[in-house]
Structure 1
Amino acid sequence: MTQSPLYSRIIGTGSAVPPDCVTNQELAGRLAARGIETSDEWIATRTGIRQRYFAAPEAMTSDLALTASKNALRAADIDLQSIDLIIIATSTPDFVLPSTACALQRKLGLRNHCIAFDLQAACTGFVYALTIADQFIRARACQTALVVGAEIFSRLLDFNDRSTCVLFGDGAGAVVLQASEQAGVISSALHADGRHTDILCAPGRVSGGAICGQAFVTMDGQAVFKLAVHLLEKVALEALDKARMSAAQIDWLIPHQANIRIMQGTCRKLGLPLERMLVTVDQHGNTSSASIPLALDEAVRDGRIARGHTIMIEGVGGGLTWGAAVIRF
């Protein structure tokens, strides 16, 4: 007997940011003490960022993931023990090992021995994680998945490097995916090109119990910008083609919140009005894998995104990695 097609649908969203909100003006003051000159106008004009959140020294990535996950689970209104897959997209795990997903599993009190693992695809991490969770559900390997993007990027920042330290912030976003006969995640497209590893990286490693090499984020901003706009347009069109849809059918574009100029450039190339693009980069800065689910949760909770809306998520990050997905909410 032929089984009916199975899809995954988002049934709950959640997010979290640390309590320490750092405005551009405050950050400029901190940098001035180091002899680094910048200003609110300089940062906002080039990036669209007005503020970001920094985690306390004792905070863990799994702590932010826990708050975001609890909010998503509360919205989904399901039995916690029904979760049979946890994927955390992060570049800033709690430890070298075990995975932050296992730490989250423990903090949630999950006792059902579900699958739990971390995924590292930098700023594209959430798109990768959502796609993988969708494939697990479509293959009937699980029924309910918790997908999280969580980062404490402030710990990778060199505050003597104005070109990077003003860009990033900390936060987490989560979604609950559940098997459904109704289409949810309609299509996705994922890619990577390791030839560009050096234009956005934090090339440190652990050896002998110490950090070797450069553990701070470094970036060739111009190279990233040129590649990002081109790759995001291309992968968005690929995901739309797989979904047999046009850009005009997208109600909301949720790009990775890296830089307002990249975001606007991609939106225009798709022929979408800027009013249909979600923007939270001004509030959170670049939170890497957390940025898309943070923006999604905000728009769901304020009512902009409603059931039946079609959304597109897309991101590009170190690796280089890039990807997009078309989702019926």
Structure 2
Amino acid sequence: MPQHEKVSRVIDLVQEHYVFPEIAAEVTGLLRTRLAEGSYTGLADDALAIAITRDLQSANGDKHLRLLHHTDPVPESRGDDESDLTEMRTWADLTAHGVARAERLPGNVGYLDIQPILFPTAVAADAIAAAMTLVAPADALIIDLRGCLGGEVSMTSYFCAFLLGAEPVELSGIFEAATGRVRQLWTPAHVPGRRFGATKPLWLLTSGTTFSGGEAVAYDLQQLGRAVIVGDRTRGGAHPREGFRVAEFLEATIPVARSVSPITGTNWEGTGVTPDVECPADQALEVAYRAALNHVVELGGENGRRQVLDEARAALS
């Protein structure tokens, strides 16, 4: 396929699917101008993807609006849910279903490291339930989202349910361009395993790598006053997207919806989630852990908790 046909295909897809019609008109106009000027002429697919992505993001910096170059052929159809789940299951099996670490730190502080993504519930619900059950008895919990690159909306609500009570809580919904309506998102009333619950202290670690679904968890729990965010400002991607085949090795990812918080009426797109305690990401665990240990010390050593109190004091020294 000639390069001008690939660019024309991207233009058509953005016009048809992008959740912001005004921005779609602006960036596709720019692509047409660049095409007429010959800016894309002679570019190999990888260079074309970089150039098109730069122009697509020039209007509003939407990090989900991209042209991606793949080393393997892009499937003719990206809408096969079962095929997508099969790929996700393979990826999940190789990455502990997104639970990189689940452990009890000295002082009875729970720690979960979630990466590379929050996999769909159809793939990783059991793993998340098992991990949360392990850390549920902790006096405080640290969830590490510094390496979390995204997540699927059903998993973000499912995951948050373990950190809240049994009463459903409304999280950021999804405004869908196709319907013109906001699809509400609530935490489920029932989850398998044990909840950490809504009252014990919770810290979430973030970095400039934290993106999309990982940001959704941080943003919603921060807005609800449920968690203290520690680390760097997140990357800033709040628009759910779909992938569309452009050519054999090119895929356009286009936001077809946008997140809408029931509390703020907006989202973290472009700005990222601002930490409550800002510090370099590589120091966030230490900062949060010390805060958690201080909480454990304040609880004291009554009711057979002398060992926990001694552990906390030793870890602080």
Same fold (TM over 0.5): no
The normalised TM-score by structure 1 is 0.27
The normalised TM-score by structure 2 is 0.28
Higher strand share: 1
Q: Which has the higher contact order (CA 8 A, sep 6+)?
A: 1
